[in-house]
Structure 1
Amino acid sequence: MAATVEELYRNYGILADAKEDLSQHKDAYQVILDGVKGGPKEKRLAAQFIPKFFSSFPDLADAAINAQLDLCEDEDVSIRRQAIKELPRFAAGENLPRVADILTQLLQTDDAAEFNQVNTALISIFKIDARGTLGGLFSQILQGEDVVRERAIKFLSAKLKAMPEETLTKEVEDFIFTETKKVLEDVTGEEFVLLMRVLSGLKSLQTVSGRQQLVELVVEQAYLEQALNPADADSVDRLLQCTRQALPLFSKNVHSTRFVTYFCEHVLPNLSMLTSPVAELDIQLEVLKLLAEMSPYCGDMDKLESNLMMLFEKLLEFMPLPPEEENGENAGNEEPKLQFSYVECLLFSFHQLGKKLPDFLIDKVNAEKLKDFKIRLQYFARGLQVYIRQLRVALQGKTGDALKTEENKIKVVALKITNNINVLIKDLFHNPPSYKSTVTLSWKPVQKTEAAVAAAAAAVVGQKRSSGEDVPTGTIGKKVSPLPRRDARQIYNPPSGKYSASIGNFTYEQRGGFRGGRVETTRSACPFPRTSMAMSEELKQDCNSEKPWTLLSKGSLHSFMDIKTPSLSRAGISHIRARQNQGTIWACAEIQNKVEESVNTARQPFKKIHKKLDLPRAICLSQFHMSRGHFCSLIKEQHDN
């Protein structure tokens, strides 16, 4: 017989007043349990009263849990929510896995508020006993209905990473790894991705050995010991999913060798026959991108030469012969289409694996085929230059929001692709071929702020090109330092105006990067002997005057200066030259009592030069630059007080 509201309140009062003698009032607790058979009011009261005294009646534990479970399945959503809210109070000792199991089953609810209540309850008991809660979750994942399994896996993927570190002990993480391996024996593609996300977030698997364990798991799922059926979309999809999950795990210590080998031996030969699991997906390009991303982490390969040959042959397929080639495959046909995205991937992969066998193109490829390859490279490089010029013209002057439009984003990416191909082709044209250049794949995200990205793109687009569109030596994605380094150098570009035609031709060769680098400068004009500079009286007068700007006419200097010291080189000043009758010379002379303690960062650092000038302790700030053919020199001077 169902209890009434009055009976429930009366028996609740008996138990509340009993305090330490609760066990003697078993009948009163039974009346409360019977409240689940009453109406909505009685059920709401029972949902609150049953868990309050649950721990005092161990003999009625099963009956109490079953009664609360009945309330969790009630037709009235408000009663269900109240019952679910109180469920964690039953999670003690051996009852906790059972409560976790019940809550996991309740994840199948379609009511949003109720679903959130279940999530909250699961998280609360997880903090009480993580392993016990996981036991209930994995029990339903392995044996429960599909909808429960799906939502339990999603719960783990979303909530586990937010759990306190003290909750996820080494023992708990080992339990998760063991149980997840059982689940991975039969999973869908989506489940596999979610479970790998769970495992990748475990602290104990962040080590090299831990990542290697994860790679082994992925290898098992990828079926790399079996040949690929290119016509089976599910098999192709499985391989792609597994490869994507393995990619973040690869490093110089965790190798991608087995995946790269499988792609070269089983995927590339069937590239054109692959069946895409998604209609909109360019399956060939997707496969080539994955191969390119894996190739830098490939270790020692048993069949390196044959795999390189497969890459080489596939590269030839995507690099056409020029249409004017007589008796060639394109003779009489229209101009072939250049597939830049495919070639970037294949060239990059070939470049990475080629490092391991640098004599491949010299000793392993016959002369006729190598000649054919270089003809294709040359034709492709010419097409690149045309396309690069078009892209630069289209993007010239665009900055900020203008570069964020979809059209311009595509053009910026295209510029990255063509730039990468240029760099790689340049390496292969070396004799012998070189594999030293480093490029960032065009689709790889660059970790920058939006402002930095816009600035970098604008800088690249705005660069002046030398005649002939020389092959670029870097990538668009290269990081740009916002401020010049202290030891950075400015390389002199000789002026090209009519006033400067007689100055001479300069070439430079920079070695060693920024730190410790040096700039070697040669002159094609007559050699200038090292000498001290004799300052003319006219110049001395001008410098001692209060006029900030002085125009010195031709012939005002009776000698030239050629100052080159180690200290100046370290400061970034390579050469300071002035020669009589070589053009109009502008000089700025500013008289100061004290030399400024700091110099504008945009200027070259300056160094005191003793005994080079008649003026006491003169400090020379000199910078070559092209401005209407003038040679500019800025001289600062400090008088002895």
Structure 2
Amino acid sequence: MYYPKYKNKPLKCVKHPKAPRQKWNAMLWVMCGFLSEFYVWFQHKDAYQVILDGVKGGPKEKRLAAQFIPKFFSSFPELADAAINAQLDLCEDEDVSIRRQAIKELPRFAAGENLPRVADILTQLLQTDDSAEFNQVNSALISIFKIDPKGTLGGLFSQILQGEDVVRERAIKFLSTKLKTMPEDVMTKEVEDYVFTETKKVLEDVTGEEFVLLMRVLSGLKYLQTVSGRQQLVELVVEQAFLEQALNPADTDSVDRLLQCTRQALPLFSKNVHSTRFVTYFCEHVLPNLSMLTSPVAELDIQLEILKLLAEMSPYCGDMDKLEANLMMLFEKLLEFMPLPPEDENGENAVSEEPKLQFSYVECLLFSFHQLGKKLPDFLIDKINTEKLKDFKIRLQYFARGLQVYIRQLRVALQGKTGDALKTEENKIKVVALKITNNINVLIKDLFHNPPSYKSTVTLSWKPVQKTEAAPKRSSGEDTGTGTLGKKVSPLPRRDARQIYNPPSGKYSATIGNFSYVIFGIKGTPWKVFLL
């Protein structure tokens, strides 16, 4: 144990031969009192050294050292490294209460050239599994962030680029959740520029989850809320999506990357920020391989998900270099999902099974075709030969007849139901089905005009429901997916960019209730209607 002997100048500390270790506690208080009493601290660094040595004592001494080391830190710059190292030792102590105390005081070391080091240390401490300690680290990081944002970000990004996986993960999550809470006088244009520059470096090698979180960081930056800012973000997503490369439909990683990037780009599109590059890529590389796509998630209907993304992007598509070719691809794909009616019973090509009407797929494809068709309104007249156009109209008519009967049945089933009655799972599915069928009906009517019209406006069935009193003819929600009779398809994973209602999926005819939908098509041939 060290006791001070007060001589004329300067302070000397000598070891008392009979000093018990139990009195280190008292000794630290003596040193603290001494340094607080004397104005000329720099003459008494031996006393400060005694406090630094307190980290080698017992729990009580360590707790005192955790408080006293930062208290006099600024008075002994020549002992700065030793002081920070001593405090860091306390941050790694086995006693969680000592660690919390040491972490709480770390921001007091964050001055000048020491701040990036403190930020680096705190970022590493994010890996703790103790919730209270983790919150303490977050609070400390926020404190020094308000002192020097760029210095703190330097420590965070250093660990994101070079640190261990768990540290990298938690540092990214810190940025995605805390930056948006910082006041404007802290998140200046210079700071936001720094965040954008460093985030671009991180995006060179990221996982899907990291990409989503980092896009959330960038989307929250104030200066990127402008049209030019959103355009920068779209260009960044385009780079990540590898749109210059052909898609390998059998590679789940490639498919997943395209899904993730498209989902992040969707909220950025507007009448001024176009989706042209994504829509073009979908038409040229994705639709031709639609049936061969490998889903990255077992429960995900990858074909329907792709078609839904295309439909959501299509209203924001600008001028396309190959508009006619892309419309032709949509047209051909639409024919695949719109069956011909069964022939007459005495016809040579009479079929034994009724065609399936895949409503969810058709809604997406019709909507996309309708949106792009506005840019080339004469497509169906000038670019499609007479026989093919006749075939297309027969398919449309067959589909429309099924829709009319189905819509009537749904309206009867929902008639008089309001409020809580519409919130049951069964009625939610019916409401969604009505929305899908109404949308398709409106779009088909437009295409039956001579010449075809592209003026009607519909809201895609899976868009969020307006918080108004529901009515049978105006309700909306999520579509029910596709599959065979009675087959259940799990809801799609939640998208981070927006909330979408996902009811139970499967064949609508299997879940709608006790109705038997057997109606009559062309020339009296019976057929069933399915919601896919």
Mapping of residues 151-162 of structure 1, within 5 Å: 151-162=170-181
Alignment CA distance shift 1:438-1:137 (3 Å): same
Larger CA deviation: 471-480 vs 251-260: 471-480
Distance of aligned partners of 1:10 and 1:64 in 2 relative to their CA distance in 1, 3 Å threshold: farther
Contact 2:463 2:500 in 1 (8 A): no
Change (3 A) 1:487 1:45: closer
Match of 2:516, SS state, is strand
Whole-angstrom distance in 2 between the partners of 1:135 and 1:262: 37
Write the deviation string for residues 60-95 of structure 1: whole angstroms up to 9, x where unpaired.
011100000000001111110000000011111111
330 and 130 in structure 1: CA distance in 2 versus 1, 3 angstrom threshold:
farther
Change (3 A) 1:473 1:360: farther
Mark the CA change 1:270 to 1:135 in structure 2 (over 3 Å): closer, same or farther.
Answer: same
Q: Is the 8 A contact 2:446 2:454 kept in 1?
A: yes
Query: 1:419 touches 1:472 (CA, 8 Å); kept in 2?
Result: no
Structure-2 residue corresponding to 1:39 = 58
The answer as to whether partners of 2:488 and 2:505 remain within 8 angstroms in 1 is no
1:438 positional shift: 0.5
Q: CA deviation at 1:40?
A: 1.0
Would you say the 8 A contact 1:352–1:435 is kept in 2?
yes
Q: Call closer, same or farther: CA 1:224–1:490 in 2, change over 3 Å.
A: closer
**SS of the residue aligned with 1:150?**
helix
Summarize the Cα distance change of 1:503–1:585 in structure 2 as closer, same or farther, 3 Å threshold: farther
Residue 153 of structure 1, CA deviation = 0.2
Check conservation: 2:360, 2:480, Cα contact below 8 A. no
- Distance change (3 Å), C-alpha of 1:292 and 1:179: same
Which residue pairs with 1:501 in the alignment?
510
Of structures 1 and 2, the larger Rg is shown by 1
The answer on whether the counterparts of 2:477 and 2:501 sit within 8 Å (CA) in structure 1 is no
Instruction: Establish whether residue 205 from structure 1 lines up as the match of residue 146 from structure 2.
Output: no
1:453-484 Cα deviation digits (max 9, x unpaired): xxxxxxxxxxx999999999999999999999
CA shift in 2, pair 1:474/1:449, >3 Å: farther
**Aligned pairs for 1:403-422 within 5 A:** 403-422=422-441
Using the alignment, how far apart are the partners of 1:95 and 1:235 within structure 2? 43
Flag the 1:201–1:583 CA change in 2: closer, same or farther, 3 A.
closer
Instruction: Tell me the equivalent position of 1:469.
Output: 478
Partner of 2:421, secondary structure, is helix
* Partner of residue 14, structure 1: 34
What residue is the counterpart of 1:316 in the other structure? 335
SS in 2 for 1:227: coil
1:333 CA drift (Å): 2.8
Confirm or deny: 8 A CA contact 1:257 1:298 kept in the other structure. Answer: yes
- CA deviation after TM superposition for structure 1 residue 502, in Å: 47
Distance, in Å, in 1 between the alignment partners of 2:272 and 2:442 is: 27
Distance 1:212 1:328, change over 3 A: farther
Residues of 2 paired with 1:273 and 1:583: CA distance? 37
Deviation digits for residues 378-427 of structure 1, max 9, x if unmatched?
00000101111111111111111010111111111111110000000000
Contact residue 120 and residue 159 of structure 2 kept, 8 A: yes
What SS is found at the alignment partner of 1:326? coil
Partner of 1:273: 292
Offset at residue 324 of structure 1 (A):
2.4
Whole-angstrom CA distance in 2 between matches of 1:402 and 1:98: 60
Match of 1:542 in 2: none
Higher mean displacement: 490-499 or 121-130: 490-499
SS at match of 1:438: coil
Q: Sort the Cα spacing of 1:116 and 1:329 in 2 relative to 1 into closer, same or farther, 3 A.
A: farther
Q: Which stretch of the first structure deviates more once superposed, 76-85 or 442-451?
A: 442-451
Secondary structure of the residue that 1:451 maps to in structure 2? coil
SS of residue in 2 equivalent to 1:491:
coil
Deviations 1:555-601 (A, max 9, x none): xxxxxxxxxxxxxxxxxxxxxxxxxxx99999xxxxxxxxxxxxxxx
**Residues 488 and 257 (structure 1), Cα distance of their counterparts in 2 relative to 1, 3 Å cut:** closer
Query: Does the alignment pair 1:585 with 2:526?
Result: yes
Q: TM-score, normalised by structure 2?
A: 0.81
Q: How does 1:539-554 map to 2 (within 5 A)?
A: none
1:274-301, CA deviations, whole angstroms, 9 ceiling, x for partnerless residues? Answer: 0000000000000000000000000110
Inter-CA distance 374–192: structure 2 relative to 1 (3 Å threshold): same
Quote the offset at 1:500 in angstroms.
Answer: 42
Structure 2 CA distance for aligned equivalents of residues 487 and 185 of structure 1: 21
**Deviations for 1:185-220, whole angstroms, at most 9, x for unmatched residues?**
000000000000000010000111100000000000
Instruction: Output one character per residue of 1:78-128: Cα deviation in whole Å (capped at 9) or x when no partner.
Output: 110000000011111111111110000000000011001001111111111
Q: 1:200 to 1:94 in 2, by over 3 A?
A: same
Question: Is the CA contact (8 Å cut-off) linking 2:363 and 2:440 kept in structure 1?
Answer: yes
Distance 1:482 1:383, change over 3 A: closer
- Cα distance change, pair 425–104 in 1 and its aligned pair in 2 (3 A): same
Does the 8 A contact of 1:264 with 1:310 survive in 2? yes
Shift of 1:162: 0.6
Query: Contact 2:109/2:118 (CA < 8 Å) preserved in 1?
Result: yes
Q: How far apart in 2 are the matches of 1:44 and 1:468?
A: 58
> For the Cα contact (< 8 Å) 1:423–1:473, is it kept in 2?
no
The question of whether the paired residues in 2 share the 8 Å contact of 1:244 and 1:290 is answered with yes
Change in 2 beyond 3 A, CA 1:322/1:104: same
Q: How does 1:215-226 map to 2 (within 5 A)?
A: 215-226=234-245
Alpha-carbon spacing, 1:430–1:500, altered in 2? closer, same or farther (3 Å): closer
Runs in 1 of length 4+ with deviation above 3 angstroms? 325-330, 449-452, 464-508, 582-586
Structure 1, 493-502 or 201-210: larger mean CA deviation: 493-502
After superposition, the Cα gap between the structure-2 partners of 1:476 and 1:327, relative to the gap in structure 1 and judged at 3 Å, is: closer
- CA-CA distance at 1:331 after TM superposition: 2.8
- After superposing the two structures, state which structure 1 stretch, 82-91 or 481-490, moved more: 481-490
Instruction: For residue 492 of structure 1, report the CA deviation from its aligned partner.
Output: 38
CA contact (8 A) 1:348 1:424 kept: yes
Q: Residues 83 and 470 (structure 1 numbering): CA distance in 2 closer, same or farther, change over 3 Å? A: closer
Q: Secondary structure of 1:10's match?
A: coil
Q: Distance in 2 between matches of 1:451 and 1:407?
A: 15
Q: 1:307 to 1:144 in 2, by over 3 A?
A: same
| Whole-angstrom CA distance in 2 between matches of 1:29 and 1:338 | 82
Question: Larger helix proportion, structure 1 or 2?
Answer: 2
User: TM-score under structure 1 normalisation?
Assistant: 0.67
Matches of 1:189 and 1:489, distance apart in 2:
17
Give the drift of 1:335. 1.1
2:295 & 2:514 partners in 1: Cα distance?
58
Q: CA offsets, 1:475-511, max 9 Å, x none? A: 9999999999999999999999999999999999xxx
Q: 2:29 aligns to what?
A: none
CA spacing shift, 1:392–1:41, aligned 2, 3 Å: same
SS at match of 1:501: helix
Instruction: Evaluate the alpha carbon distance shift between residue 498 and residue 88 of structure 1 in structure 2; reply closer, same or farther with a 3 A threshold.
Output: closer
Q: Following TM superposition, by how much is the alpha carbon of 1:446 offset from its aligned partner in structure 2, in angstroms?
A: 3.5
Distance in 1, Cα, partners of 2:429 & 2:513 = 43
How far off its partner does 1:334 sit? 1.3
1:31 to 1:499, Cα distance in 2 relative to 1, 3 A: closer
8 A contact 2:488–2:507 mirrored in 1: no
Instruction: Tell me whether 472-481 or 429-438 shows the greater mean CA deviation.
Output: 472-481
Tell me how many residue pairs correspond in the alignment. 487
* Distance in 1 between residues matched to 2:82 and 2:238, nearest whole Å: 48
CA distance in 1, matches of 2:439, 2:162: 51
Shift of 1:179: 0.1
What SS class does the counterpart of residue 450 from structure 1 fall into? coil
Shift of 1:332: 1.6
Which residues of structure 1 form unaligned runs of 5+? Answer: 1-8, 18-23, 453-463, 509-581, 587-641
Quickly say closer, same or farther: Cα 1:312–1:108, change in 2 above 3 A: same
Q: 1:417 to 1:177 in 2, by over 3 A?
A: same
Alpha-carbon shift at residue 448 of structure 1 (Å): 2.5
Higher relative contact order (CA 8 A, sep 6+): 2
Tell me if the contact between 2:491 and 2:503 (Cα under 8 Å) persists in the aligned partners: no
Identical counterparts, % of pairs? 93
Q: Note the C-alpha offset of 1:256.
A: 0.5
Structure 2 stretches lacking a partner, 5+ long: 1-5, 9-32, 38-42, 518-522, 528-532
Distance (Å, rounded) in 2 between the aligned partners of 1:89 and 1:330 = 85
